[in-house]
Amino acid sequence: MNPPLKIAVVGAGAWGKNHVATLHKLDLLGPVAESSAALREELAERFGGIDLCADYRDLVADKLVQAVVVATPAATHHGMAKAFLEAGQDVLVEKPMTLTSPEAEELVSLAERNGRILMTGHLLMYQPAIGFLKEYLRQGHLGPLRTLHQERAKLGRARSVENALWSLGVHDIAVLLHLTGATPSEVRAFGHAGLQPGIADDVYLHLTFPDGVKASLHNSWLWPEDSRVLRIIGERGMLEYREREQKVWLHRKGIDPALRNLDAGSELLFEGSAEPLTLELEHFAHCVITRSKPLSDGANGLAVVRVLEQAGNPL
């Protein structure tokens, strides 16, 4: 009989600690590699009895480690994920999967050759509301799509290396690609740097898809309110997803062929409260056990990195 699945974690910092806590709650936590002695001490006190090490290479060499979450700084993702895949281990790597498309392509190819699961931590794809929107659109209730508009902006933590798109928009790009089910044929980005030379605090990303659907994304850490909303405009109405409330509204509004305004009111279609990280990690565990393709697989991670690359420097 095979031992029960345990998922290791590399990196227990600002976001990695949430992976550790969630896997522990799910009784799926394996050994944890964290280079900070202070964080290891904190983990030992909080989760008594867990296995801790300082070097991720100890997990690469551990034949009992079947699957691992890589939640370290983005610049380290490629090297670490590559090492685990080469060792025959399944990997969930946090967003962005890599910093360049050649690195992402290498990981996708390596996972395919070795028969390994490669999953990207595109958390928003596991929000129940996003699943609802995907199915609603698939069933054609909104008719042909016209435009999608996503905004994620707040007075946030300004970064000194990556711009607002790389910092705030990776999950949103993954969602836009997921909902449209397509790869953009054109990518354009425009931004403004007001705090630091060369680092855009405010970015507008515009995507054009082969079927003519357009999508826009606004990211900013220099904004007066916390705005997290997605609007989808179709032939038969408009959907509005407010992330903070986890609600999806249908607005029966539009303009007819005679250019007359139509307004038949609004309706709350969906309200959810599930924890997306729990759903994401349960999905990863399911894929490891059943050897099935993840929703946010390596190809999805690669597609997002390609969009980020094509956006280039928006200044």
**pLDDT score of 163:** 96
Would you say residue 3 has pLDDT above 80? no
**pLDDT score of 274:** 79
- Residue 61 confidence class, pLDDT cut points 50, 70, 90: very high
Please report where in the chains the tokens 């997605």 appear, as a residue: 230
Q: Cβ(213)–Cβ(145) under 8 Å?
A: yes
List the domain boundaries for the chain: 7-116, 125-275
pLDDT in tens, 62-82: 999 999 999 999 999 999 999
- Residue 184 confidence class, pLDDT cut points 50, 70, 90: very high
Q: Which CATH class is domain 125-275?
A: alpha beta
Which residues, at least 6 apart from 211, have a Cβ–Cβ distance to it below 8 Å? 182
Average pLDDT score over the chain: 96
Q: Give the sheet arrangement for strand 29-33, strand by strand.
A: 52-53, 29-33, 7-10, 67-70, 90-94, 118-121
Would you say residue 1 has pLDDT above 60? no
CATH classification code of 7-116: 3.40.50.720
* Distance between CA atoms of residues 153 and 227, nearest Å: 5
pLDDT in tens, 103-161: 999 999 999 999 999 999 999 999 999 999 999 999 999 999 999 999 999 999 999 98
**pLDDT score of 268:** 98
Alpha carbon distance, N-terminus to C-terminus of the chain: 57
Q: What's the rounded mean pLDDT across residues 274-286? A: 96
pLDDT in tens, 19-60: 999 999 999 999 999 999 999 999 999 998 899 999 999 999
